[in-house]
Structure 1
Amino acid sequence: MTIIRRSLGWCAGGLALALAATLGGTSITTAAPPEADPPAMEPTSATSTPGENYVALQFGVFMHYGLATYVKKRPWDYDPHEVSPLTFAPPAEMDTDQWMQAAASSGAKYVIFTAKHHDGFALWPSDYTDYDVASSSAPDRDIVQEVVDSAREFGLKPVLYYSWLDFYKDGGSDDEGNYHFVASPEYVQFAKNQITELLTEYGDIAGLWLDTAPGKFDSGRLQEIKDHIAAVSPTTAFVPNTHLTEKRGGTRLAPADVLVHEAELEGDLPCDATRPHEQSFLAVQPNSAGWGWWSFASRDTTVTTAQDVMVELMRANSIGGAAAVNASPGPDGKLGLGNVNLLAEVGALRTSPTAYVTIDDMVPPCGGTLTYSGQQTDSDWIHTRGTPTGGGKWFFGTRTHSNTVGATATLTFSGPDITVLFEANPGHGIAEISVDGGPPVAVNTYSATRRQSQPLFERHNLGPGPHTLTVEVTGRKDDASANTFVSLEGFRINASANPTIVPVANVE
């Protein structure tokens, strides 16, 4: 197959327009790479799997940008054959550095970018389609390259989104243009060729995020794509979005390095730390400024709060997974102030874990479930939210305390590392902590002055788990202490630069 570059193969109102550059009456063509699969490459590292490397990044930012940004409709709400590629008109002042600087301010370690969405429009000059940036109003630009370069400049690992569903390419959808289609062999090869371009022309790509077609995308086909990715880029994780298959009564398709949970539809992550997981979720802008994932206009505020982002991040990290918050550029080529501020606020919370945050609807995260003396409502423990008397800030704005001898707080979690945060206080006593039924360790929580969020107990290299940690009130105290209270503020699971954070209580 040969594509004549700078050609337009779109139809609008029955009109087909094709342009070909010529020299001396001869069309200038660029030969496409061979249709056959490339030879396998040897992995560069055998220490960790691509999926493990991916989720170890823990937190990312998902950016939706493309033709839909300028059509100002969702990619499944228009027929790309009726939309000229010239509609894609990024301004000269489009600033991918601004996108990545904002993402980095959140503490994110990776960014997912939509290289091709359902409309089939490629944001790189692909040798396999005439519906791409090379045929747009910015024919000399390679948006994927700009994004990848900016991501690396700000210390972010690039992940490229590729839509399996393609309303433009023959065989990429059924006659009715819906999600339930069986891809033709020609389309399968086309998709593999484009994936090869993305994974061989832009340096190291941490993940290929494949938006799949649920219902008809069988396990064998997923395995074929997974094997292809492993052959052309052994360090790239295969991250297929198969959420709808399970949602509609099927089973989650196995061939994947990372299983995706699209929070808007999936709702909850499973309590399963045996496979790498990622949860993607929305940072919704007000006044319908776009639709969920997309931004059709820049806004100064978001409905989503930094606390919302932290809750989702905690839930994902608590099972050893990653989470990605959506923040998408608008038609002006920049992230709106609302998204910029949101990401900065998330970064402030993550680097200042003692910052006061009220989470009214916090649900104990999967893999980080707390029970108190057998029942969370047990009156032995008093849950408090707010600001401590005399000032200071509790970890995530909550604490729970007790001086009832024998009262216990038990945390179940997965991951190798755990840190327990206490309030130290002139009236506090001695707790005993045991991990996985091991011998108890006495922890003195007395302090001559009131001090919040004190990491008085840590354990590392425990293995993947699951684990059980129990804190028990002993009734013993330091001679200088006025009482025997034990006050828990929270836990950090998987100690690292970006630990999972578990508040101690859901306080009404």
Structure 2
Amino acid sequence: MNSSPLAPSAPPTDGQLAWQKAGFGVFAHFGINTFSGREWSDGTLDPGGFAPTELDADEWAETARDAGAAHLIVTAKHHDGFCLWQTDTTDYGVGAAPWRSGRGDVVAELAAACERAGIGLGVYLSPWDRNAPCYADPAAYDRLYRRQLTELCTRYGPLAEVWFDGAGSAGRTYDWPGVAAVLERHQPQAMVFNLGRPTIRWVGNEDGLAADPCWYTVERTEVSLYDSGEAALPRPMYLPPECDVSIRRHWFWHPGDEASLKSREHLLAVWYRSVGLGAGLLLNVPPDRRGRIDPADRSRLLEFTGEVGRRFADPLAAVVERTPGKVRLRFAEPVAVDHLELAEELRGGQRVTGHRITADGREVAAGGTVGVRRVHAFPEVRARVIEAELTGAAPEVSLRAFRTGHGSLPALEEQPPVDEGRADTPPLAR
């Protein structure tokens, strides 16, 4: 969503600002679909098919932590209605599966693992439920949904993020005030994704890509890839975007899908066009049928995030000078530079609407918003003075220069097409 700027920008909460600064989380799509080779199932799959043989929640959490993620979000209930926790609301879930003799609780195991790993836990709870018999009765289903959310909010400790997917809900109005009341009572610190009373919003695609300008204050949010409508907000709100994308073609793990694993360069390109544009990135790394992270996926994830860390590990030392609408780096002697990072002070709201970067007077980069961070990569230049000229300047903008040896922006490679011929799988469905 690239709405025009709303002036004055609304200010962020402390929680929103902390979420923005963290910048990166891991998604774990896991459930009955993992064992069926489907992306969306219709709520009729036998719960006995849920049979991970080596489920290791510590591996999930440690992988996310080692990749630098601030939190890990699990699909506690996808559109099929299958619940990964011991719920009192339905028989369709892990309580009816042979796994752990019907006493298993994926959410509980993951909550404990995230605590041990020192990262936050998030839950995805699909509003659309293709199994619940009461779904056709909105009032009855709203009661069930609030009970499910209450269970998740009260049994597993603090939640970093609650994810409401709009897919499949076109034309349906849920009891969002009731949902908000549950969150406000039990998890007021959790970031809320996109629906109800959101604190962050969907970027509008499933490719992991934001755009320039990347505005934080908006009047409406997009609902779903499968619904062209938008949800109007009661007032202009500060809602930074989150970019979601899967490390493979599918969201749930599929056998024989190895060829679709995104390359390191593709993931780097996604990073530059999400985190590097001031948005958040949520990268899906789906556990396999063992309940483990596929070794190839883990290796690629850490290869990608390790390279990001390497590129931004050592900013070049410089004297920082500020004049109205400008911030300048002055070096003792000419230095080689191929990356620049800007960051805006956002406590009073988003203010920068445009910027231009020069190296010894030569333009090397330009763009729109800055936000929580803005990264530019370009062919290496040598300069003694790097200057950022700002439009609509914030009270303070920081500027850091880096030499990484990889100045050219990686290109997004073409991914294998999704099979659109299967009735159960909409294109790029979560």
Smaller-chain TM-score bracket: 0.5 to 0.7
Residue 146 (str. 1) matches residue 109 (str. 2): yes
Indicate which of 383, 389, 396 corresponds to 1:486: 383
Structure 1 Cα separation of the partners of residues 272 and 49 of structure 2? 40
The equivalent residue for 1:260 is: 202
The answer as to whether partners of 2:75 and 2:125 remain within 8 angstroms in 1 is: yes
Indicate which of 35, 42, 54 corresponds to 1:70: 35
Counterpart amino acid of residue 327 in structure 1: V
The answer as to whether partners of 1:55 and 1:322 remain within 8 angstroms in 2 is: yes
After TM superposition, list the pairs within 5 Å mapping 1:459-478 onto structure 2.
461=345, 464-466=350-352, 468=355, 470-471=357-358, 473=360
Q: 1:108 to 1:234 in 2, by over 3 A?
A: same
The equivalent residue for 1:316 is: 274
Structure 2 Cα separation of the partners of residues 265 and 171 of structure 1? 34
Structure 2 Cα separation of the partners of residues 234 and 333 of structure 1? 31
Structure 2 Cα separation of the partners of residues 504 and 223 of structure 1? 48
Residue 280 (str. 1) matches residue 280 (str. 2): no
Q: Which runs of 4+ in 1 moved over 6 A?
A: 298-301, 431-435, 457-460, 487-491, 493-496
Shift of 1:235: 1.3
- What SS does the aligned partner of 1:148 have? helix
Structure 1 Cα separation of the partners of residues 37 and 58 of structure 2? 23
Counterpart amino acid of residue 229 in structure 1: L
Indicate which of 89, 105, 108 corresponds to 2:69: 108
The answer as to whether partners of 1:295 and 1:329 remain within 8 angstroms in 2 is: yes
TM norm structure 1: 0.58
Shift of 1:205: 0.5
Shift of 1:135: 1.1
Structure 1 Cα separation of the partners of residues 129 and 387 of structure 2? 46
Shift of 1:145: 0.7
Residue 127 (str. 1) matches residue 58 (str. 2): no
Counterpart amino acid of residue 89 in structure 2: Y
Structure 1 Cα separation of the partners of residues 98 and 387 of structure 2? 53
The answer as to whether partners of 1:123 and 1:133 remain within 8 angstroms in 2 is: yes
Shift of 1:315: 2.9
- What SS does the aligned partner of 1:164 have? coil
Structure 2 Cα separation of the partners of residues 345 and 339 of structure 1? 10
Counterpart amino acid of residue 188 in structure 1: D
Structure 2 Cα separation of the partners of residues 196 and 208 of structure 1? 12
Structure 2 Cα separation of the partners of residues 125 and 258 of structure 1? 28
Residue 215 (str. 1) matches residue 170 (str. 2): yes
After TM superposition, list the pairs within 5 Å mapping 1:429-468 onto structure 2.
437-438=325-326, 441=328, 443-444=330-331, 446-447=333-334, 461=345, 464-466=350-352, 468=355
- Which string of whole-angstrom CA distances, capped at 9 and with x for unpartnered residues, describes residues 384-422 of structure 1? xxxxxxxxxxx9xxxxxxxxxxxxxxxxxxxxxxx7x69
The answer as to whether partners of 1:90 and 1:332 remain within 8 angstroms in 2 is: yes
Please list every run of 5 or more consecutive structure 1 residues that lacks an aligned counterpart in the other structure. 1-46, 175-182, 243-253, 286-291, 356-394, 396-418, 425-430, 476-483
Structure 1 Cα separation of the partners of residues 330 and 163 of structure 2? 45
Percent identical pairs in the alignment equals: 21
- What SS does the aligned partner of 2:214 have? coil
Indicate which of 143, 158, 161 corresponds to 1:204: 158
- Which string of whole-angstrom CA distances, capped at 9 and with x for unpartnered residues, describes residues 74-116 of structure 1? 233xx323x221111121x221212222222211111110101
Q: 1:102 to 1:301 in 2, by over 3 A?
A: farther
Structure 2 Cα separation of the partners of residues 206 and 298 of structure 1? 33
The answer as to whether partners of 1:148 and 1:202 remain within 8 angstroms in 2 is: yes
Indicate which of 134, 144, 149 corresponds to 1:190: 144
Counterpart amino acid of residue 282 in structure 1: S
The answer as to whether partners of 1:309 and 1:325 remain within 8 angstroms in 2 is: no
Structure 1 Cα separation of the partners of residues 386 and 300 of structure 2? 25
Q: CA RMSD in A?
A: 4.0
Q: 1:436 to 1:189 in 2, by over 3 A?
A: farther
After TM superposition, list the pairs within 5 Å mapping 1:319-358 onto structure 2.
320-353=278-311
RCO comparison, higher one (Cα < 8 Å, 6+): 2
The answer as to whether partners of 1:277 and 1:316 remain within 8 angstroms in 2 is: no
Indicate which of 21, 44, 68 corresponds to 1:56: 21
The equivalent residue for 1:160 is: 123
Structure 1 Cα separation of the partners of residues 382 and 47 of structure 2? 67
Greater mean alpha carbon deviation, residues 200-209 or residues 267-276: 267-276
